[in-house]
Structure 1
Amino acid sequence: MSRTKKILLTLLAYLTAFIAAVCVSSFVLNQGKVSGEQQRSSADLPLLYVRTGGELMNEMHGYTEPVDGGYYRDTLTPVGESKTINLSMDTYGHNISSVSFELYNDQYTDLIESGDCTDMEKVNAMVQMQLQFKNTLYSNREYCLHLMLKNDQDQVYHYYTRVRYGSDLKVAEKLKFVLDFNETTFNKDSADALSSYLESTSSSSSSDKSLVTLYSSSDTVTWGSMAPYRTSEIAIRLKEINTETAAFTLSYTIESSAGDINTFYNVNEYYRLRWTDSKVYLLDFERRMAENIGLADITVSSGALRLGIGDASDIDYASYGTDQQQYTWVTGDQQLWLYDNTNRIMTKVYTEEDDNHNCGRQDEAGIKVVHADPETGDLYFIVYGYMHSGNYEGREGVMVYHFSHEDVLLEDLVFIPFNKGFEQMRSGLEELAYMNDDGTLYLLLEDTVYAIDVNMGKMDVAYKDLNSSNCTASGDGIFVMCDGGDENAGERLKIVDLNSGKERTIEGGDWRIVPLGYAGKDLIYGLIDPQMLTEDSSGVIRTPISEVHILDENYNEVKTYQKSGDYVMRLTISDGNISMKLAKAVKNGNYTDYQDAGEDYIIRNIENDDQKIYVDKQKDSIRGQQNWLHLNTSDSFVPISQSARYLDPGYDISRKYEDTDQVEMQYYVYTKGRMDAAFATIQEAVDYGTTYAGTIMTSHKQVIWQKAGRAYIWDLNIDSIDKTSNTQSMNSILIKTIADYEGWELNGTIDDAEPLFAAMTAVLPAETIDLSGLKLDDVLHFVYRDRVVAVKLSNNNYGLITAYDNDYVWIADPAKGEVYSMTQTAAEKLFEQNGKVYYSYMD
């Protein structure tokens, strides 16, 4: 073959390869579009606001599909005697042709009223309108308001807020106090004006500016030496309101140039106040601040990267890699960063911010790394909550992302819509969100574990019909669930290694068995005597644990705990330390009740890996304590900084999960304007809510208790009650009185032989709730919410609490056949003598 011919064939081969590469590239790019430095398409859904006293508040973000409004309590909109709400809309370029509304009860189950918003007109850059209710609204009830915006393409956007009706709420006056207080914090010369509202203590830190409270000094409240200024509008949200008290949150951004360094921060403030004609009392104040690190701010000093002001507990991080190449990822303030330790490159992988919507940050969002590839440096992570931008803007759910370290490219893999609120979603994902080396991601949503092939986008059910409270998982992919038994406990534990697929079991034998959690790599489980899984006198099945067992990662038993005569009723794990709430079993006729027996503890010395990457706090004279990430070096340098590019997949990546009507009862406590804690019992929730001035909402969507939300006088107007006789039993009289008051038809025949609580549960058309153990003051919250409360008056008699004022309570007593009053002091003593047994319901 001639040399010329060889050259031509070689050129032809290269040309063929080039054409093939172009075709492949064209195919890939046609499937998805790389959008340069931009993270995702910008947010552009319209925003709705409530106009009050000349201010815009309660910023509402739109949903592109309807959700269950009963789960959402981000804002509370007040309605006065005129029964109108004034709204403003920023259309963001959408041509909105109509706005309509639906008003529901607080659980979003019963439609009360629907209609259209009127008087739409454009005023400056906003569209204003008014909403008018016609039906009767009750002053001590919350409602769910669903607003629908329709554009000229007949596309509907959905917005949600809660509504409370009341007269003389003084919303504008209370809001003005909050805004004036905020404005004063930026004026150092006016610091003394704030002192009368603060309760400053010497123990409050002046150097930690990530959390400023009512107990901080006026100098700290006025930002110390930072001298910042706001760089955004203030997003105002009303959280609670009644005649005297109110709670607001403010969200905004600031910049500080102190010390010739420009730094930027996201700020969230919480105010709770009481209004009187003579004075305003600031009951609580909290300011949380987190630094918004920009690419230009990335420097390493003596081996440490400054993360800035912020709550250290919000920072998560891990190092991974090979002997030749090391990486460190870090999350905080809804951002994900990746540091290439070897090449000294810092990449901003993900941020929740969107400059197009200049709005307050949402608390109800989470980010979690589920897999880090040590060979490639790639990251897989989930973002869950409301999607503020991108292809799924206006949807709530779980987005699975992949970040390619080599290509500096972020891509969407799978989106799972979820419409039952953030807490229902978070509770499962915090228990299990793990991806193995084969690319299978396991997520727990409600009562089902899903297995997702992230490479193919395929989602299957791995395990279903679980009781999520009887499941646990380790950080390295060991999933434990009950097998056999019932919803309370299993006959055995099934242990699945999600990496290898191998399964093993731990038999309960003659016991019932439940997983209790992991302390490091140690599995903790409990054993229950099956004979103790019976109803107590209130009709509730308790799960008293007789023995606690601790196994190491090789399933060798390292500790057994049991205490004669005591049962473990609740167990919590924190940093390897195990605390247990104990109780003693007490016979009560044919039933077994449990009396508090204090607490006990197990201290486990969890062996931590030798961490050369860690976070600590250092402080300077201007910004105070700041978080620093130590990177296993002593050098000082400026790393290369970059942002991930974004690959739009170009097609629908959503996957449907199996919705369930069975929602495990949990009690969510909202404090300081956000969901703060969740508990399995109302008693624990009230205890926490009392300490932190909270509001309690159930996972079944009922708002049932508020620390600051009870009137001093309330009367259900139950003025008489029948007397027990041979023809009318106590159960019948009490339950029929409740049903008559509520206007209910009973779901069957009342069983006079059953304990009262069991009989109420069987026939009342509402969820019953056992309030036993609460203080009388806490029980009266249910009366204020127009719910009758049954109370034990003696061994064989119950009555109904029907009214109260500052000094007295009124009891409808079927044994006497009359309604009478008692001082609250005497009533509390009587109720304590009879075990503080209270029953009510949640409608």
Structure 2
Amino acid sequence: MKKKINVLVRILVMAAIFVITIYLVNIFQNRSYKNLAAEMKDAELPLAYVCYGDSLLNCMHGYTGEVDLTLLRDSVTPIDENKNLEIMVENDAFKDASYSYEIRSISGDSLIEKGDLEAASGTDGYDVLDISARMDLKQDMEYMLVVKLKSGDGRSASYYTRVVVNDNYHESQLLNAAKDFHDATFAFDKLESESVIGTYKQEYTGGGTGDSYGLGHVNLANAYSDLLWDGLKPTVISDVNTYIKEIDVNYAVIEMEYKAMSITSQDVMSYYTVKEFYKISYRDVPVASQIDEADGAGTDGIYFDETASYDEAYSDEQDADTVTETEPKITMLSYDRYVDEYFDKDGIDAINNVYEIGIVSSDDLEYRYTEDNKKIAFVRNGQLWMYDYGDGQITLVYGSGMDDHANDSNTYSDHDMNIISFDKDGNMTFAVYGYMNSGDHEGKLGVALYTFDYTTLEVDELLFVECNVPYEAMKSETSRLTYYDGDKFYYMLGGKVNAVDMKTRQQSYIAEGLSASDVKVSVNMEVMAYGESEDQSSNTKLTLMNMHTGKSYEITAGAGECLICYGFKDSDMVYGVSSISDAQVDVDAESFVGTRYSEESRDNIPASRLYIVNSDGEQIKEYAKSGYYLMQVDVDTNLLYLTRGEKSDSGFKSVDDDFITFKEDDTKETIGTTHLSSITGYDRLYFTVPSNMYLSYIPALNITKEKIDPDAASMIMTVVRDKVTYHVYDNLGLSKIYDVAGDAINYAVSVSGIVVSSEGEVIYRQAESQEYNTIASGIFHRSTGSVDASLGDCLYMVLTYQGVQVTEDDIAQYTDPVEALNSLGKRQGIDVTGLSLDMLLGYVSSGIPVISRISDGRYVLIVSYNEADIRYYDPVEDKEIVVSRDEYTDMMLQWHNESYTYVEE
């Protein structure tokens, strides 16, 4: 009996020791975690993919609300003439799901076909959906495919990708080229001469150099070692999601997105989100041995007699030595890799007294700090952090995926944040805008307003405004302005400055009809300014609004003058006064080469005076120097950089720049950022702190709790556009929005981007123009013999060329040529004013005539060109005229390259 008792005691003692051990281990392992609570809810909506052979392409995230499809350009999927497509959907969370599909016009307003889908069970937890389009889809025309999911418990989501029918896009070769390049960047020991990277670098003719952010952004201009990660040797830890962003018969933009991890010899692990962008062209080139070696044979194998007349050289029946054998040629037009490191709370560097932010692709870091410098709030990779130096704590205020970087759902980055206010106690107000990746609003687009209580570690949602604008379009506006004064929430969206009264839950707007560039906002977002007109010559009033005090101030121009707002220095507004008559004065653009004078500033009327007013509308400085004009004003950190001009008979010509400096208090040290490469061997961004602060301890981690607030408000805002705008997409998505197509195209050329209208039509994409082309034989000439009627004559010819029967009275109803082309024609008319002659000839290269204004104000039609000359039909003279390119360029400059054309579907 005693033996049994001893055994029992031993068992009880061992059990007690086990429990105590578990308890102590738990305390030890979590000794740096305080008030640990559940993170934000993980994403639940399944992901969908296009099945392409053995690969999955074009990862699609589910949307649970309305979406403006003309602004959604996440991916495009080429399909063959059989119009078959296979979609794979993760089905782990959504059991017993039913599916259907729709094919819509690219604008989304026209339903082409719809149907139900039967899901087959695939491998690895996927539902497989086979879609066979029944309707006759036009070749090369983009449509929007919508896949709709509905779960057994009533939840639903929609998935989107553009589709286009063409058997000759060579997408498999282009995708393989991108994959080969991607793989080669991880072949760390391979010589450049043995790598496909070396081949593409030798052929690369693009400009630019590697960025100043080290590995944060590299391109083909960087050294080979940079492209191979310069010894960092990261490992890919997630799926490599591949997207076809744009494609046509000879060109594609391909994106690869993935997560990577590196580890040092001291076992320090770092995690990164990586995006790679490939712009690749495909063309069949003549086999070298087959090209005729006769004098005058061109690289395209077509014989050209340089002594022939214009008509002979460009007739459709010219002699040619046709090469029958070709081989594919793939050219890497550009490659860009952007790397952003995830913030690691352990990145305290006590020796250098800095806090590591990480490798960054851009210096555009959203952060605030308290007046005593003891607390910093900042946004990194979709996560909002708050570091408390005094208490030695750091808090993940908002965001998910902290320890699960490989999860594509939780780390989806189609949203961003603005820190609105941050007080000395660590309490914060902030806004989240874009695609809601998790939580109660998962799958919706919108703007959410939150408060954070540092004492309770609770995040409280005050308001959610659901909208139909995708993140890429939303960020150009909403990133500029979100402000909460305790009573009203202000935000910019849909060309309006909106205001929500939090007590009445009613929304109104302060101003409307604004583009993102029309509204200027102070850094702290407390003060904003806007004009009454997009046209500067009509802008005779500026409104300055101090949202902190709720007061507004109006600044008016004198007789014959107009105003331009340049922006804010802290909370002080900087604006200029211009003479309306100076809008007609030309600018000697060549004299400004090498200055800061940008293409965008060419639409601004140079100002003769500059003023600075504070947030209460009080003037604090004036700048004016007789005979000098401000061509461009840049608001830098501690100065205004003034690009100046002088007016002469030939127009505004460049003179020396000038500056207005702001003296800073050198004795007051504040939180800042700096790039350092000496610490880790790689260029990383760091927080710097005042000299009386000593960073020595790794802070304890807090994770916030979501507060359930029954008083939280929700509303829906549907943005309806009342005008056509033109959107420039660069590597990282939607870059800028313009009202004039020509301005958008000029900017797109500078960033190697594309231009898409708000109606979904691709207005411009990079493409190789033919060396010559003529459409003269297809133009039905019309002449009324007068300069005043020449525009109507040109419109008549263009519409007739499209196959439209119109009368003179039909055209006479319209004063705007773009409106006439859109209302009467079969294609979308565009204003391409400002484009160079070379750019205009790109349309003629595609078989599209261009209306151009020249000389005495007459409008003519460009119908042919070669390397040296162009041919245009002059309805005043009733004949075709051939002039040199240089001569025609001079004729166009007199009317600032005013031009109009249209785009094919």
- Please state whether the residue corresponding to 1:224 is helix, strand or coil: helix
Q: Which amino acid aligns with 1:267?
A: V
| Aligned match for 1:333, one of 365, 370, 381 | 381
Which of residues 480, 484, 501 in structure 1 aligns to 2:529?
480
TM-score, normalised to structure 2's length? Answer: 0.77
Residues 727-766 of structure 1 mapped to structure 2, 5 A cutoff: 730-742=790-802, 749=809, 757=817, 760=820, 764=824
Within the candidate set 170, 177, 199, 1:196 is matched to: 199
Query: For residue 357 of structure 2, what is the amino acid of its counterpart?
Result: L
Report Cα offsets for 1:180-203 as digits up to 9, x if no partner: 222222222224313222359997
Contact 2:773 2:864 in 1 (8 A): yes
Deviation digits for residues 728-749 of structure 1, max 9, x if unmatched? 9544442233334445687993
Q: Is the alpha carbon distance of 1:746 and 1:673 closer, same or farther for their aligned partners in structure 2, counting shifts above 3 Å?
A: farther
How far 1:236 sits from its partner (Å)?
0.8
**1:73 offset after TM fit, Å?**
1.0
Aligned to 2:611: 550
d(CA) in 1 for partners of 2:481, 2:151: 40
Cα distance change on mapping 1:785 and 1:394 into 2, 3 Å? farther
Residue 267 (structure 1) aligns with: 274
Task: Give the letter for the 2:246 counterpart.
Answer: E
Residues 565, 585 of structure 1: 8 Å contact kept: no
- Higher mean displacement: 472-481 or 223-232: 472-481
Q: Which SS does the other structure have where 2:265 is aligned?
A: helix
Q: Could you report, residue by residue, the CA deviation over 1:39-63 in whole angstroms, capped at 9, with x for unpaired residues?
A: 3222121322112232111111111
Cα deviation digits, residues 82-111 of structure 1 (max 9, x gap): 333332222343233222112203x33444
SS in 1 for 2:782: coil
Instruction: Please say if 1:281 is aligned against 2:344.
Output: no
For 1:725-776, what per-residue CA distance to the aligned partner results, in whole angstroms no more than 9, with x for missing partners? 4799544442233334445687993566998848847964687533233223
Deviations 1:659-683 (A, max 9, x none): 45335x6543222252234455544
Counterparts of residues 379-778 of structure 1 (less than 5 Å):
379-436=428-485, 438=486, 440-452=488-500, 458-461=505-508, 463-465=510-512, 467-468=514-515, 469-476=517-524, 477-482=526-531, 489-510=538-559, 511-529=561-579, 544=605, 546-553=607-614, 555-561=618-624, 564=627, 568=631, 572-575=634-637, 576-578=639-641, 597=653, 601-608=657-664, 610-620=668-678, 623-632=681-690, 633-649=693-709, 653-657=713-717, 659-662=719-722, 667-679=726-738, 681-699=740-758, 701-708=760-767, 719-725=778-784, 730-742=790-802, 749=809, 757=817, 760=820, 764=824, 768-778=829-839
Q: Distance in 2 between matches of 1:299 and 1:239?
A: 41
Q: Structure 2: how far apart are the matches of 1:379 and 1:42?
A: 23
Between Structure 1 and Structure 2, the one with more strand by share is: 1
Structure 1 residue aligned with 2:253: 247
Q: Deviations over 1:753-811 (max 9, x none)?
A: 99884884796468753323322332244456775421246546533345778898775
Deviations 1:420-448 (A, max 9, x none): 33354333334432233x45432222343
- Gap change, CA 1:364 and 1:119, over 3 Å in 2: closer
SS at match of 1:190: coil
C-alpha change, 1:501 and 1:791, in structure 2 (3 Å) is closer
Structure 1 residue aligned with 2:235, among 222, 229, 234? 229
Which residue of the partner structure matches residue 4 of structure 1? Answer: none
Correspondence 1:840 to 2:886:
no
1:366 paired with 2:416, answer: yes
| C-alpha deviation, 1:481, in angstroms | 3.6
Map 1:24-43; keep pairs closer than 5 Å.
37-43=37-43
Distance change >3 Å, CA 414–CA 444, structure 1 → 2: same
Q: Corresponding residue for 2:104?
A: 103
Do the aligned residues in 1 keep the contact of 2:520 with 2:530 (CA within 8 Å)?
yes
C-alpha contact 2:430 2:449 (8 A) present in aligned 1:
yes
Contact 1:302 1:634 in 2 (8 A): no
Write the mapping of 1:155-174 to structure 2, written as runs, cut at 5 A: 155-174=155-174
Partner of 2:126: 126
Matching residue of 1:377: 426
CA–CA distance in 1 between the matches of 2:208 and 2:163? 41
> Helix, strand or coil for the counterpart of 1:685?
helix
C-alpha spacing 1:748/1:113, structure 2 compared with 1 (3 Å): farther
Q: Does 1:348 align with 2:393?
A: no
Shift in CA distance, 776/352, structure 1 to aligned 2, threshold 3 Å: farther
Q: In the alignment, what sits opposite 1:3? A: none
Distance 1:113 1:46 in 2: 25
CA distance in structure 1 between the aligned counterparts of 2:336 and 2:506, rounded to whole angstroms: 43
Give the 3 Å change call, closer, same or farther, for CA 543–227 of structure 1 in structure 2. Answer: closer
Match of 1:8 in 2: none
Show CA shifts across 1:558-613 (max 9, x none). 23347759685x65544443455879799xxxxxxx97755875523234463421
Q: Distance in 2 between matches of 1:720 and 1:784?
A: 15
- Is 2:314 aligned against 1:311? no
User: Are 1:800 and 2:861 counterparts?
Assistant: yes
Separation in 1 of the partners of 2:608 and 2:412? 42
| SS of 1:416 mapped into structure 2 | strand
Question: In the TM superposition, what whole-angstrom CA distance separates every residue of 1:447-471 from its partner, at most 9, and x where no partner exists?
Answer: 43333456x5835425143535543
Query: What do you get for the CA RMSD once the two structures are aligned?
Result: 4.2
Provide Cα deviations, 1:528-553, integer angstroms capped at 9, x if missing partner. Answer: 556778999xxxx9773543422242
Structure 1 residues 563, 206: closer, same or farther in 2, change over 3 A? closer
- What residue ranges of structure 2 are gaps of 5+ in the alignment? 1-34, 284-326, 587-601
Whole-angstrom distance in 1 between the partners of 2:799 and 2:231: 62
Aligned-pair distance for 1:522?
Answer: 3.2
The residue type paired with residue 395 of structure 2 is: T
Structure 2 CA distance for aligned equivalents of residues 282 and 516 of structure 1: 39
Contact 2:578 2:609 in 1 (8 A): no
TM-score by length of 1: 0.82
Aligned mates of 1:692, 1:519 — CA distance in 2: 28
1:337 Cα deviation from its structure 2 partner: 1.1
- Amino acid paired to 1:340: D
Whichever residue aligns with residue 708 of structure 1, its letter is A
Q: Which runs of 5+ in 1 are unaligned?
A: 1-34, 587-593
* Contact 2:796 2:811 survives alignment (8 Å): no
**Conserved in 2, the CA contact under 8 Å of 1:470 and 1:514?**
no
The answer to whether the 8 A contact 1:731-1:751 is kept is: no
